[in-house]
Structure 1
Amino acid sequence: LSVQIVMMNSSRIPNTFHLIGLSGLENIYGWISIPFCFIFFSSIVGNGLILHQICRDYKLHQPMFLFLSTLAITDILFSLSTSPSVLSIFLFHHYSIQSQLCLLQMFFIHSLSITESSLLVAMAYDRYVAICHPLRYTTILTNPVVAKIILVSVFRGTLIHIPPVSSLQFLPYCKGNVLSHSYCLHQDMMKLACDGTNTFNIMYGLAVIICTVTVDMILIVLSYILIIRAVLDVTSRLDQYKLFNTCVSHLCAVGMFYIPMVALSVVHRFHMQVSPVFVNFMANMYLFVPPMLNPIIYSIKSRQIRVSFCETFHLKKIPW
C-alpha cells in the first residue's frame, strides 16, 4: 500500500488525513471486518435494549439506572461517531478522511470520553451513597440532583474540548497527513504540526487530562476505599458479598474504560517505542469493546434489569 505524505509549510490544514488500520494484515481485512461489524452491531443493539428497558419500566427509574441510561446513550453515540471510519478501512480499504470530518470525529471521541468518565464517577458516588448511607439514599440522590449531575457531565465533556479541537485547524502542518490510528485523536494530529507551533494544545491537553481523567480516577478510588471500609464493618459474610456484588459491574466498566485510555495517552504523550500493530489493536479495543460489554455486564449483574427483560420478553425468571 503506497501512502502519499503531504508535506506542507503553510498554515493551511491538509484537505484530507490518512488513517491507518492494522499494518501488515491488509490481506485479511475482510475477515477482520466480521468481528468488528459484529461488535458494532452488538453495541448498538445492547445499549439500545438497555435504554429501552429503563425508559419503559418505571421500576428502573432510579438514580443508578438513570446514570446507566445516559451511559448507554453515550456509548451509542461513541460507536456511531467512530465506527464508520474504522469499518470503511476494513471493509472497503478506504483510508482517507476529510479534515473537517476528522476534527468533528475527534471532538465527539474526546467529549464523549470525558462525559463517560464523569458518568462513571457519578455511578461510583451512587454506589457510595447506597452502601454507606442507605437510609439517606433517596433524599441525597433525588431526581433533580441526578438530572443536574448528568447535565454537568455532558457540558463538562462538550465545552472543555471546543478550544483545542478548534485551534488545530489553524496550525501549520509540516509533518505530513498520516495519522497513527483508524480514527482521529487530538494527540495524534498534534504530532503532525510544525515544531513549536502547538504549545497551547500540548499544555491544554495535559491540563485536561489532569483536571478530568486523573481527578475522576482519584474520586473513584476514594469512593471505593470508603465503600470497602463500610463493607468490612458488616459482620455477615453473606451481606458483605451482596453489598460488594452490587459494585462489580461498575468496577468492570471502570477497568474497561480507563486502562486502554491511560495506556494510549502514555504512548502518545511520551512517544514510547511500541509496535504500531499493538498500539492500533489497543486503540480499537478502547473504541469497540467497552460499548459492547457494558450492556452485557450490567444485564448479567443487575437483577432489576434481568427481571425487567424477563417480564418484557415473557421469559422464565432467573433465580440469581
Structure 2
Amino acid sequence: METIEPPNRCIHCGFSNLKRHDKRLRRVRDMNLFHKHLHLLIHVKRWRCQNCKEVFSEPLSSVPSGSHQTYRLQEHIFEQCRDTTISYVSRQLAMSYKTIERIYYKMAKNEIQDKQTSGVVGIDEIAVRKGHRYETVVTDIIKGNVHEMGADRDYQSALEILERLEDRGLKTLVMDMWWPFHKAAKQLYPDIPIVIDKYHVVQKVNHAFDQVRKAHNAQIKGLKKGRFALLKRPFRLTEKQLEEYHEESPEIAHAYYLKEWFYDLYEQSTYEEAEAFLNTWIEQAKMSPFSAFHEYTKTLDTWKIHIL
C-alpha cells in the first residue's frame, strides 16, 4: 500500500516546495480479520523541504504518526481495556503488555478533556495487571467520559484525584464499597451524597448465593456444570430446571429465591418503600441457615444509607 497524492506543505515550516527524499516499508497492525492477525505493509514516502531542509514522513490518515497500529485498532484496544484487564487484552491480541498499556493510557488521557461534569461522577478501580496493580479512574456517569486517572486505589490516591474535581459542580458520587474511596469522599465533600452502584450491591448477593451452592455441591448431580444456570434470573430458566433444583436440594432453592427476592429492591418506587423492603430482606436473610447471607447482611447494615 502507498499514498497517491504527495503532502501539500512542509509540516515544519509550511513551505510548499518539497522533494521526495526516500521511501521505506512500514509494517502496521490492523484489526483482526476472521480471527487472524492482519498487518498492512505500507510504503511510506519521506519528503525533504527545499526551504528548511527538514526531512519528514508523509502523514497517513489511518495510522497515527510514529505508531505501528491503526487508529481503529487502538480504539478497539482502549474499549477492550475499559471492560477487562490490560493483561487479558494483551493475551487475546498477542501483543506485548507494554504496548497495550501505552495505547490505553495515551487514549485515556485524550478522553480527559471535558472538565465540567454532569454532576454525577463515579470513582472506581481498574486492574492494569490482574491481581497485581490497580489504578483509580473517575468517570462521568451521565456523559460516559473519563475525567481523571491516578495510580493505585488507596486513600491518598483517591484524595488527590477527588481534590481535582472541586470546581466541577459535583452533585452525586457513585462508587463501590471500597472504604478508602468512601473515606476520601466524605473528607473532601461531606455534604455531597454517596451512592453505592447497583452492580456491586447485586454482585455481592450473587457471591453469597454461590458460596451456598459450593457448600451444597454434592447434593445435586452435575451441579458444578449448573453453576451458571443457577446464577441466571428465573425467567431465563425452564420450569423443569427450577423444579429439579427445588426437589434435589431445598437448601439451594431457598438460597436461590432469597437471592432473586433481593433484586426487587430496585423495583421499589419510593425511598420509604425501598427502606422497608431492605429491612425485611435483611431480617429474612439473618433467619436463614446460610452463613454467607449472614455476612452479607452485615455489609448491607454498614452501607444501607448509601445503597438506598
* Coarse TM-score class (shorter-chain normalised): under 0.3
Larger Rg: 2
Give the TM-score normalised by structure 1.
0.25
Normalized per residue, the structure richer in helix is 1
Larger relative contact order, structure 1 or 2 (CA cutoff 8 Å, min sep 6): 1
Name the one with the larger strand percent: 2
